[in-house]
Structure formats: structure tokens, C-alpha cells
Structure 1
Amino acid sequence: MTNRTDDAQPRRARIAVTVVFALNGFLAAMWVAHIPVITDRTGVSHETLGGLLLLLGGSAFVGMQLCGPLIDRFGSRPLTIIAVSVLAVAVLGPVLATGTVSLALAMVAFGFANGGLDVSMNSQAVVVEQAYPRPIMSAFHAYFSVGSMIGSAIVALTLWVDVGVVATVVGAAIFAVVVLALVAPQLSVDDVAATQLSGQTQPRWWHRVDRSRLVLLAIVAFALMLAEGTAYDWSALQVVETFNVPDASGAIAFFAFSAAMTVTRFVIDPIAAAIGPAAVVRIGAAIGAIGMAIVVVSANFDDAQWIATAGWLIFGIGLAGGIPQIFTAAGNLSPVASGQVISAVVGCGYLGMLAGPAVVGLLSHLTSLSSALVVVIVALGVALAFAGQVNKRASTTGSSSIQLS
């Protein structure tokens, strides 16, 4: 194990990882907030978009599962750098698409890169958090929300003043690559060489973890990310199409959701320390269900777009704290093959993110988009039911370095 040489090292790594989380949110917002525009440009229906979102989620899942073993072999730092770079290029694909086939190909590339980045940056976050005496994971995820909020605000502004969509996304991609180049040297270097130098092969990671707890964490991650993914993919469209308002108004709804996630995640770490992560998940799921119920019933009122937007905001408050608690617990389940443990839990979460938006899209073809969102309330009920199984934070006593082993 390589010991920490000075107090500045983990601080610099924390800043670098924070920037990566923000870049991920920023680039994701370039896709999410442009969904109404992209569907108009490509002419895809709700049902087709639901299938394409399923494809995106599937490619993200593949990227996660490939990334986990690579992290344990080469470290999360190089994988994070590669994933951000590829994502910056892939985000151009959806806005350049002209039809269903080109949009499908673009979404496969975007999903693959985003899935790999989700695992690698959370692996980085776990390594950095182990060097701190207090929880900091929710703060990392807060900056993902900061990036989403900034990105969605930029999209709303550029749509409002009629700036070209392609020009907006190209500028965002260039910005992301430049910022990555500035912070990449400060990302933490995982100590992945210790096991390899001993001449031993990597142990089977599932034999080194509490498998029953891993399953419970995966179930809650599935439910929460199903709900979160629905907001990313359908919030803007729900407001635009339910109330027949401009695309910019839809972007505002996603902005409200992102802003609520941002503010709440900045205060979750001390709350989790005070009441425990299980209570954070339980209370958050209940608040999220209330917010989604407001969104659903808003469709029964004329010109109630602001009621729907308020519902999306409350929904964001409820979802803010749950996933960081799950990812921290997963990252600390085992000191061996942390990348594969995280990829398993994040992957199950992405199965939820894959299933939720797709199911909503299919149901919206049979009923209405607002009515289809009842699926999210059911998922949050599952998360609430299993919240008590999200045990206390795994101990990191004795972890005096920002290395994995």
C-alpha cells in the first residue's frame, strides 16, 4: 500500500473528481434537455423513443460491466479520462442524427461512454472518500447535479434565443475536453499493482462480499435509478406535450428537477451522519413519490405547467440522497475488486434506468405520458420498503491512503 504523502493530495484528488462529476452532468444535460428538439428533428414517436432509450440503457450497462474489471486491472484514473473524452465526442451524435437509425447508433455510443464513466468516476469517489474522516459522496453527486443544472440552463437559454442546437453541443464538447485536460493529472492513482506483483490472481470478488447485502443494495439502486432515469428522459417532454408549451418550458422543468437535486445533495452528508443512510433513503423515497403524484395529477388541470414543474422539483428533492448512500455502501463492501463490486451495483441501477424510461414510453402509447409516470411511484414504494436494509456505512478504519488496496 502506498501511503498518503501529504494532506494536499486527497484534497487535489477530491477537486478533480468533483469536476469530473460536474462534467458528466453537464454533458448528460446536453442530451436530456434537447430530447424534445431531437425527437422533432428525427421524427421518432414516443414508442420508438422508448425503445431507443432501452438501447441506450443496454449499451450503458455493457460499458459498466466492461469497465469494472479494467478498473481493477489498470485503475480508475485512466478509465475515467478515457470515458470523459469519449462521452464528449458521443454527445454530438444525437443532435446530428437525422432519423431513427442514426439516432439509435448515436445513443449506443453515448450510453456506452456514459456507463463506463459512471463506474470509473464513482470508483474514484470511493477511493478519495476513504482518505477522509467524514462522508463526502453526496457532495460528489451534488456536483453532477450542478453540471446538469448548468447544462440544462444553457440549453433553455440557447433554445429561447434560437442558437443552433449543433453549435451549442459542439461548444459544450470542446469545453469538456479542455477542462478534463486541466484536472486529469490530479485524479487519484489506484494502487492496483500489489496483487499483481505478488504473483497471485485476482480473487473471485463475489466470495469477498456480503452477498445478501449486495442484492439488497442492487434492488434499491434499481428502484431509485428507475425513478431518476425517468426524470432525465421524460420530464421535459411531459411538460411540453401535456400543456402544449414551448420546448424551453420543458427545459425549465428539467432545470427545476436538477436544481432540487443539487441543493439537497449539498446537505445530505451531514444529515446521513445524523439520522443514518436508511432513513435518508426511506424519507427521500416518500418525498419523491409525493412529487411524482403532483406531476401525474397536474395533467387534469388546464395551464398547470407550473404545478407539474413544482412536482418535478419535489421529486428531485426526494431522489437526491438515496443513490449516493447506495454507491458508498457498495464501494466499501470489499477492499478487493472494488471496481467490479461498484459495476455490479451501478449496473443493476442502470437496469432500472433502462427499464423505467422504456416502460413509461410504451405505456404512454397506450394511455398518456402523465398517467404512465405512475410506474415511478410504484418503484419508489419498493425503495421505501427495502430502505431499512441499507445498513450503516461500512467502516473505513485504517484506510490512510487514497489507494484501493
Structure 2
Amino acid sequence: MLRILRPTAPRTAIRFIRFYSSDIINNVTPSIKKESLSPLGKHLRDSIKLTGPLTISHFMRQVLVNPLSGYYMEGDVFGKKGDFITSPEISQLCGIWYLTEWMRLGQPQKTQLIEFGPGRGTLMSDMLRTLSQFPYFYKTITDVHFVEASPGLRKMQRAALVKGSQDNDVIRIEGNKDEPPIETITRSDGVKVSWHDGIEVVPEQWSCIMAHEFFDALPIHSFEKTGTEWREMMIDIDETKESERNFRIVKSPISTAMTKTYLSDKKFSTDFKDGDRVDISPDSWGVIDRIAKYLDRNGGTGLAIDYGQDYIQGDTLRAIKDHKIIHPMCDPGTADLSADVDFKFLKEAILKGSEGVSAYGPITQKDFLQSLGIQARIEQLFKSAKSSEQRKVLLDGAERLMDPELMGRIYKVLAFAKESSDVKGEPVGFENKKFILPVEE
């Protein structure tokens, strides 16, 4: 009798098949292993267990700047190996824009540059290099001030602006109970560079202010309309077996204090339908309000460059890790959290917070760079490039900055300036773009 030999499955495979089959029959999903909790993750979990779900605003603040292991506190998150790349073409053209503003606003004898969230200091370093080609303006620059929370990034910024500097070159000016200490160092060209926790302690002087990809990282509160009411979105512990994440976004069952504070305006009851979401950043309002008041007292001009829209949006919270978008609840502290900027919100804060500061735009990054002659600049660099590889890098970078499908449209540029009655004209690139505060009903 002929025997037919059949291959047999290993015992482990049989056990897996039986287990998986029984799950299918019983309609049970196999459990997924949870991510390991970092010290920051454990801190967030314990906080939620103690006080209940966190607001998205509190969660973002902890994830980004918590000294335990916040994303910006961990070291170099910028450059090719990090999650951000700043093009030198943007830096150089922004320097030219500030030069034109200095001329438009009366050519003050003393100026200083202030940057919020300066990253590695690359943008400011490139701007100073460009401005040094215009001695009549450059000689008026007395100081550079960085508003930066991360000790690690402060070291990188110092290395970018003061070549060959050492830790012991930094002068630490101790504050008191009301004023934090100030770190400062002087460049070889005489420009002093200082670091601060906020604009409140920056010396009073005519200033050029830069906020490049700064406002998108400020915390938001997120809300969803449920029927005729609004509910705040919160961060809770995820103990389900269907997700590897330890945290999840849930909807508050009752109206929170923030809901009553920020969504009482009539437009929120009439202009939105069930299921709509809105993101609001009180921190952004507070920062731009302080900037506007500072310029109102001292004079000056500024730019806010970020991705966003000129209206309120919702559900824009995102996480970026290794240049890829991931779920915002994944392994807190290892990815950058950000949300789209509401430029209309910023403009209203500027005009409501100060009498003499005007706001312009926003315009797209493409229009801003074109108004400053980026095409001629790229052509000049292309001709001087020494290899085909350099030319390719240059063209790829220009496309990334200008293409409407990449950064050219989603990135917006907002301008603001203290203008006296005798100032004529408008900022370069912002002709007929002055914002007028709507009349409240």
C-alpha cells in the first residue's frame, strides 16, 4: 500500500494556529504589547492617575520642555540628523528684509536682534553674516538676544555664533528672586549674545524680532462640538489591549473652565456644527501680546514664519520623528509635537495689545521669498556652484522652499512693526496687506 507523506507543522506553529483560530471564533483581538514607559511617560501616567486626564496644552508642555526628558531638552533635534532643516536662503533673505525695515522705520542708531526658539542658532548666524556686508546697518547692532529654554540648545547656539567659545567664556549674571540669571558672551565683532527665558528681561531697545517655527510648538487646547455644546479633548491613560500606546485622546464628559473661557463667543455657537474641532493657543496670544507691547515701548519690527492658516483650525496636533509624521501619543518625549498656527489669532492679539504696532499678512513663504529676489539669488549661487552635486542640492532646496505642494504655500509669513505717523510705505512683500481689526458687534 502506497503511503502518502504529508508535511507536519511544528508544535509551536500548531499552538499559534489553535490560539489564533480560537480568537477568530470568539471574536477576540490578540493583545498588543505596550510601549515601554520612559521616565517622562511614567511621570505623565502618575500625574493622570493622581489628578485625572490632562489637557493637551499641559501634555504638550511636558513632552517638549520637561527637564526630565522633554523633546527639546534632549540635545540636537535640528539639522540633517534631527527633525528640522533651516535653509540658509531663508536666513539671508530675512536679513535683507530687516535691513529694508530698518531703513523704512527711520534708521535708528542702536538696534538689537531678538529670536524666539532659535534652534541651533543657524538662522541668526547666517543673518549676521549677511548683514555684515552692509556696514552702515551692521555697526548699529549692539546685541543678539535668544529666548531659549533648553540648556543643551543654548550651547549649540553659542557654538554657531561665537566660534571657538568655551563654557568658561560665558559670563553668568545672577538675578534675584524676581529676575532669572542671564548668560552672555561677546563676539569678536563686539556684538554681545545673551540668553533669556522670556522677552520680559530683554533690555529695552529698538529691535528686530524673529520667530521662525516657534508658535507652532506652543501648547494648544483642543475642543470638539458635541450637539450644541463644546467639550475639551484630554489626554488619558490607554489601558486597552488594542493599542501599543500608553496614552490616548479622549473627550471631556463635561464642560471645562477653558471651554467656558475661550468658546463663549457667539461665532462658536453659530459657525460650527456637531463634530467640528477647534484648536486655541492661549500661550501664543500671551507671547505675541508681550512682543507687541515691547515694540510699542521701544520701536522695531518683526517676522513670524510658520505653517498654519489665517483662520482657526481644528485637530491639527501632530508629531514628527525622523522627518516622518507619527501618532502624537507615541512614546512621549521622543518626537516633536506641534499644531498649525492661527495667524488671525496672532494679529488680533497684536492690535488689541498695543496701539502703535501694525500687523501685515500673512503671505505665503513663496510670495515672501519672491518679493526679496530669491530667484536671482538662486541663479547667482547656481553659477558659482563648483559641482553638479552642489547645483542639485541648491535646486532641491529652492524647490522645497517655493513649491506650493511643499513649503511654499503651507508656510506663512506675518510681519509686524511699530510705525510712527511719519513712516511711509509698507514692509517689503506686504504691500496692501495691512490688517485692520474687525469692528466687534
Pick the structure with more strand per residue.
2
Q: The TM-score by the shorter chain falls in which range?
A: under 0.3
Where relative contact order (Cα < 8 A, 6+ residues apart) is larger, the structure is 1
Pick the structure with more helix per residue.
1
TM-score of the pair, normalised by structure 1: 0.26
TM-score of the pair, normalised by structure 2: 0.24
